[in-house]
């Protein structure tokens, strides 16, 4: 078998090359990749050769949103068999550190993450990965949809962090792929109103076509919302979203006195509100993977047919404001090749 891969050598320089076939470790599976997405991080590496401190210093295969077929298994593999269709969770933790043992493996400082220097990614015919991070796809789900499980997990984690539930009014700022997925997840979680804001009319059209109840341009007033999910990274969008989210809570006295004030992203808000917002938007858990591997099974059900209008959704539970900021960063501390020793 031939293992061809798209290899980044320098900004703007991607070459299709032959790479050695991966061999599975004792608890690894080799997957023939049949579908792979292009993430914003792939674009950043292609255009700039780096994302912050993560610098491409040697040729690297891009891509981390993938699905495919198991073609080989290691000697101790028990979860999968040759022929299984799987989606891959691209960050494999060490399993031994404090964060991993506490069940927060998405915060593992030694995570080995596809397409994060110096680890190769999934723009290849074949990849090897620990069996625990390959998840079986249902027969009714295509490989292309299966490859979206990783970015979908970002939307699910954002909605969980923001506490989205039945009857909520949700504002998603930013209609890129993550924002669009977060909006659909909010609907699946029971939100009855999901507004999506952006400056790109085409993206807003996609948002409307995929279930958003309202789309907003830069001059539109979002009104009052119960939860804000920030997916744009633009200061103006952040400020407008915060203003929409705090209007209800602070006017109803949810956070108590409106003085003194603090300022975030150019918006003055009561200090009591500010503590709530800054706690909710802190980056301690802003990684792409959810905190527990079994939740990936529920991720698959999110993209199955549902009632986009949520006609069975319940009433809003009140004016408690919830926020989540999910401009997806890259994992830190990557220092090892993609090959775990048997656990």
**177 and 143 belong to one structural domain:** no
Task: Give the least confident one: 12-16, 56-60, 118-122, 251-255.
Answer: 251-255
Provide the β-strand partners of residue 29. Answer: 73, 129
- Report which of 158, 169, 194 is spatially closest to residue 306, judged by C-alpha positions: 194
Q: 91: number of CA atoms within 13 Å, CB side?
A: 28
Question: Angle at Cα 235 formed by Cα 230 and Cα 239, nearest 5°?
Answer: 70
Give CA torsion, residues 45, 14, 58, 151, to 10 deg: 40
- Tell me: pLDDT of 308 over 90: no
289-300 pLDDT, tens digit per residue, is: 433 333 444 444
| The pLDDT of residue 236 | 82
Between 11 and 307, name the one with better pLDDT: 11
- Look at residue 50 and give its three-state secondary structure: strand
- Tell me: pLDDT of 192 over 90: yes
| The pLDDT of residue 316 | 34
Residues 6+ apart with CB under 8 A from 223: 195, 244
149-177 pLDDT, tens digit per residue, is: 999 999 999 999 989 999 999 999 999 99
Separation between Cα atoms, residue 245 and residue 320, nearest integer Å: 9
Q: How many helices (H) and strands (E) does the chain have?
A: 9, 19
| The pLDDT of residue 1 | 84
Domain-located, residue 124: yes
| The pLDDT of residue 262 | 41
Residue range 51-63: mean pLDDT, rounded: 96
- Look at residue 323 and give its three-state secondary structure: strand
Domain-located, residue 200: yes
**What's the chain's average pLDDT?**
79
**168 and 316 belong to one structural domain:** yes
| The pLDDT of residue 282 | 32
- Look at residue 102 and give its three-state secondary structure: coil
| The pLDDT of residue 238 | 79
Before 335, cis peptide (omega within 30)? no
Task: Give the least confident one: 126-140, 184-198, 251-265.
Answer: 251-265
- Tell me: pLDDT of 258 over 80: no
**18 and 87 belong to one structural domain:** yes
Q: How many domains does the chain have?
A: 2
122, 147, 172 - which closes a domain: 147
Residue 309 domain boundaries: 151-325
Residue range 318-324: mean pLDDT, rounded: 45
Domain CATH for 124 = 3.90.180.10
Residues 6+ apart with CB under 8 A from 241: 171, 173, 197, 222, 225, 228, 230, 323
Separation between Cα atoms, residue 79 and residue 134, nearest integer Å: 9
């Amino acid at each position: 078998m031939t293992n061809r891969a798209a290899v980044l050598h320098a900004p703007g320089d991607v070459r299709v090359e032959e790479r050695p076939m991966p061999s599975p470790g004792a608890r690894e599976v080799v997957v023939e990749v049949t579908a792979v997405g292009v993430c914003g991080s792939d674009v950043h590496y292609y255009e700039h050769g780096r994302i912050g401190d993560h610098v491409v210093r040697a040729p690297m295969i891009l891509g981390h949103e993938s699905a495919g077929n198991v073609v080989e298994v290691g000697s101790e593999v028990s979860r999968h068999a040759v022929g299984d269709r799987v989606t891959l969770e691209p960050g494999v933790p060490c399993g031994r550190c404090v964060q991993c043992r506490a069940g927060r493996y998405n915060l593992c400082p030694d995570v080995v993450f596809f397409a994060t220097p110096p680890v190769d990614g999934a723009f290849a015919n074949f990849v090897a990965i620990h069996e625990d991070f390959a998840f079986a796809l249902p027969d009714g789900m295509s490989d292309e949809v299966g490859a979206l499980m990783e970015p979908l997990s970002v939307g699910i984690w954002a909605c969980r962090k923001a506490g989205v539930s039945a009857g909520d009014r949700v504002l998603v700022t930013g209609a890129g792929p993550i924002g669009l997925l977060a909006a659909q997840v909010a609907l699946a979680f029971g939100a009855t109103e999901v507004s999506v804001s952006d400056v790109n009319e085409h993206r807003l059209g996609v948002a409307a076509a995929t279930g958003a109840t309202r789309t907003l341009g830069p001059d539109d007033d979002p009104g009052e919302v119960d939860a804000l999910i920030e997916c744009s990274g633009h200061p103006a969008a952040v400020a407008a979203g915060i203003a929409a989210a705090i209007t209800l809570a602070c006017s109803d006295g949810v956070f108590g006195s409106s003085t003194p004030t603090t300022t975030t992203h150019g918006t003055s808000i009561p200090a009591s509100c500010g503590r709530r917002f800054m706690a909710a938007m802190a980056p301690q858990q802003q990684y792409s993977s959810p905190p527990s591997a079994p939740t990936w099974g529920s991720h698959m059900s999110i993209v199955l047919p549902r009632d986009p209008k949520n006609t069975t959704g319940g009433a809003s539970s009140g004016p408690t404001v919830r926020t989540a900021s999910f401009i997806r960063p890259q994992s830190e501390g990557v220092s090892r090749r993609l090959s775990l020793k048997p656990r």
